[in-house]
Amino acid sequence: MNRKPIKKFWEKEAVRRRILLMLLIVSTTAVASGYMANVLPHMGRTGLEIALIIFFAMLFAWISIGFWTSFIGFLILMRRYNRFTINWPSYANDPGIEKNARTAILLPVYNESVNRVIAGLRATYESLAATGQMAPFDFFVLSDSTNPDRWVEEEAAWAELCKEVDGFGHIFYRHRRPNIKRKSGNIADFCRRWGRSYRYMVVLDADSIMNGGTLVRLVRLMEQNPDVGILQTAPTTVGRDTLIARVQQFANHVYGPMFAAGLSYWQLGDAQYWGHNAIIRIEPFMRHCALPQLPGEPPLGGHILSHDFVEAALMRRAGWEVWLAYDLGGSYEEAPPTLLDGLTRDRRWCQGNMQHMRLLLTRGIFPAHRALFLNGAMSYISAILWFMFLNLSTIEALAQAIFEPKYFPAHRTLFPHWPVWNPGWALTLLASTGFILFLPKLLSFFFILFKQRQAKLYGGFIKLSLSIGAEIVFSTFFAPIRMLFHSKFVFMILMGQKVGWHAQPREDRGTTWREAFRFHYGGMLLALIWGFIVYTINRSFFWWLTPILIPLVLSAPLSVWSGRADIGRMFRKYGLFLIPEEIKPPPELKSLKAYLAKLDTQAASLGIDRSKGFVQAVVDPKINRLHLAIQRQRRRVSPKIAERRRQLVQRALTEGPDELNDLEKKEILIDPTSLSSLHELVWESPEEIFSGRWRVSTP
């Protein structure tokens, strides 16, 4: 049942603000496109030039959205007053949370590094415990892991954690075997089983950390705003050492707050949900936010990959508000450690955002959410637009060099057609584009320096200035590489190629040269050929293209070097890309580091590596027992299946765990009879099997 469509107090203001945004975007785009038309030799009179102007206008409109959002965000932060913020300071002194406001903190995991997940969970748990308001909160590790080793590792780590923090009854573990609908299905499965026991859920990611005070505050805000269905925090990226991740962390800290404030200004109660670090009112979520399956086959049909935007739109369609608490701190996540990891994630997001285009005209979705769908898709489509714009520019430049200009066309004219190339105008246009792109960075600098007065948290005035300069260089270098990959993703999706579901790496592993060349050789080759042709035919245009071509040619080394943690640490040593959490780490991040170090150095039991979860479940009596206990009750199986499993156990015993594939391992793990039999048989086996095949070390 949807809520009555009551006019919200902020809706009128939201309409006014969005009209203002539209006017600003249209006016700046119109002026810049006019300049562009004047820069072109035929003043936009040829078909090619018209196409160029159209692409330019779309791209300029796209970047001006970011510019105006940041600019408004800057004004809000400078004023330190926002009439429509959800996080009113007066709410801060409210009494504790009532016990009925039961809140589940969900940690969906999928084959992620168990140590990192558990250390993060522990840091959040202890931070919450320190607030003294643990009573209404429960934690759920919702595992979708398909790797049998990870599955057992998670169970053991969960039990150890509960034992260490006395978390039994507050920290729960559930493993789901059929991973239907991926993360959204995982959350929906929780809602179906236990959703009715809780009023709210805080959805985290495997790499999320939240401060206990922030969690309490989120619940209070939800209690005080009964019309709010989803309240999203603005997570800051922390905790990585690789160069590219440190650059992203720095950019997120310096420019992020301004951008988030600006977003909140336009969106008000029509904000988006980013899928994690947000609190959700469960009852309306269960009623209205179940995701439909899109008609047709993936990539554009099937299950919705980027569920978050759609859930926010459905929540809003049902009459509930979705807000962004942009000024609420204590919410953290981690950036992908390497360029290739980031691109792999983008590939998945790209498919999800392209699917949203199919929902763009769906009935009942609010216009603001339609705009968000379009905005999400444009994040990737803009890459292909840029790529096409560059191609058209190249064609225009080559045509100018190859073909003789026709001064006297066939029909009679008073004056000859005189192609004019005005470098001054081109430079003006370049400068104005640069202004749009880089002014927000400058504004952030001023904000930190003069309003926050927190330059020392970024290493001081000089290091902050140098870091911003270096970040601009890095982002300029990586932009063409991302553009090329995003264009490829969009093209592949439109051609019907779907994406798999892989775990996102949560550790600072680098990129090998082999990997880098395998992924980047196409782009490098393209840039070399492109550059050679332009250099040969129109040398003056070649220099205009170098900011695009040089990064593409260097993409493999850039990918390797930017993914190295030692280079990132070197930058840190010299005080570049520092963030406040590194200068003055909050307690929860300190705890995370300490727990992670402790878990990484834990000794192996029975000489079995902790990452060999399956072997542990078979050999280690404690883990074996724990796993059997967590399993569901025994089920009767057909004699055929029983016989197959018996043979599998026999094979596992004689050939050892290395000869089994993941499916076979899982079949043993899900069957208590097979697992307990194998456990006993291994322990009863001769020495060559016990120590040889199963590698148990006896003292």
Partner 1 sequence: MKNQSVYPDIEPPADVAPSTTSTPEIYFGATDECTDWQNARDRVLLYLRSINMPPILGLSIALDVLRRAVKKCEVSTEYYPAQAAMLSLHEVLTERNLFPETRAFWDRRKIFCTSESTIPLNETAGILSETAAFSGGLPVAPPLKRGHMQPGFMDRKPVRSFFGRLFRRKKEPDRPVSKRTPKVPQRMVANGQPPEVRDEP
In the complex with partner 1, which residue's Cβ is closer, 93 or 633? 633
In the complex with partner 1, which residue's Cβ is closer, 362 or 375? 362
Angle between helices 11-39 and 243-267 (to 10 degrees): 120
Q: Shortest approach of partner 1 to residue 169 CB, angstroms?
A: 5
Quick one: three-class SS letters along 306-355? CHHHHHHHHHHHCCCEEEEECCCCCEEECCCCCHHHHHHHHHHHHHHHHH
> Nearest CA to 425 among 39, 49, 34?
39
Q: Shortest approach of partner 1 to residue 351 CB, angstroms?
A: 19
In the complex with partner 1, which residue's Cβ is closer, 373 or 489? 373
In the complex with partner 1, which residue's Cβ is closer, 234 or 682? 682
Whether residue 299 is preceded by a cis peptide bond, meaning omega within 30 degrees of 0, is: yes
Q: Shortest approach of partner 1 to residue 134 CB, angstroms?
A: 15
Q: Shortest approach of partner 1 to residue 360 CB, angstroms?
A: 7
**Alpha carbon distance, N-terminus to C-terminus of the chain:** 65
The 3-state DSSP composition of the chain as helix, strand, coil percent (nearest 5) reads 65, 5, 30
Q: Which element (helix H / strand E) includes 20?
A: helix 11-39
> Nearest CA to 358 among 317, 308, 310, 288?
310
In the complex with partner 1, which residue's Cβ is closer, 141 or 340? 141
Q: Shortest approach of partner 1 to residue 427 CB, angstroms?
A: 43
Please enumerate in sequence order all residues whose Cβ is within 8 A of that of 174, keeping only pairs 6 or more positions apart, or say none: 140, 141, 142, 143, 190, 193
Q: Shortest approach of partner 1 to residue 271 CB, angstroms?
A: 20
In the complex with partner 1, which residue's Cβ is closer, 195 or 568? 195
Instruction: Give the DSSP letter of residue 88.
Output: -
Alpha carbon distance 49, 27 (integer Å): 21
Instruction: Give the DSSP letter of residue 450.
Output: I
In the complex with partner 1, which residue's Cβ is closer, 567 or 696? 696
Q: Shortest approach of partner 1 to residue 30 CB, angstroms?
A: 27
Q: Shortest approach of partner 1 to residue 655 CB, angstroms?
A: 19
In the complex with partner 1, which residue's Cβ is closer, 165 or 492? 165
Q: Shortest approach of partner 1 to residue 318 CB, angstroms?
A: 8
Alpha carbon distance 470, 463 (integer Å): 10
Alpha carbon distance 108, 278 (integer Å): 13
Give Cα 260 distance to the centre of its chain.
Answer: 15
Alpha carbon distance 128, 517 (integer Å): 45
In the complex with partner 1, which residue's Cβ is closer, 311 or 508? 311
In the complex with partner 1, which residue's Cβ is closer, 441 or 679? 679
> Amino acid letter at 48?
L
Q: Shortest approach of partner 1 to residue 118 CB, angstroms?
A: 15
In the complex with partner 1, which residue's Cβ is closer, 117 or 484? 117
Q: Shortest approach of partner 1 to residue 181 CB, angstroms?
A: 11
Q: How far is CA 45 from CA 42, 115, 401, 502, in A?
A: 6, 62, 18, 49
Residue corresponding to tokens 């009179």: 45
Q: Shortest approach of partner 1 to residue 235 CB, angstroms?
A: 26
In the complex with partner 1, which residue's Cβ is closer, 92 or 180? 180
Asked whether 220 and 88 are in contact (CB, 8 A), the reply is: no
Alpha carbon distance 542, 539 (integer Å): 5
Q: Shortest approach of partner 1 to residue 155 CB, angstroms?
A: 9
Alpha carbon distance 577, 251 (integer Å): 8
Residue corresponding to tokens 């593409």: 552
Task: Using DSSP bridges, classify how beta strands 200-203 and 278-281 pair: parallel, antiparallel or unpaired.
Answer: antiparallel
Residue corresponding to tokens 């000489």: 607
In the complex with partner 1, which residue's Cβ is closer, 432 or 676? 676
> Which DSSP string corresponds to 182-229?
HHHHHHHHHHHHHGGG-SEEEE--TT-EE-HHHHHHHHHHHHH-TTEE
Asked whether 94 and 224 are in contact (CB, 8 A), the reply is: yes
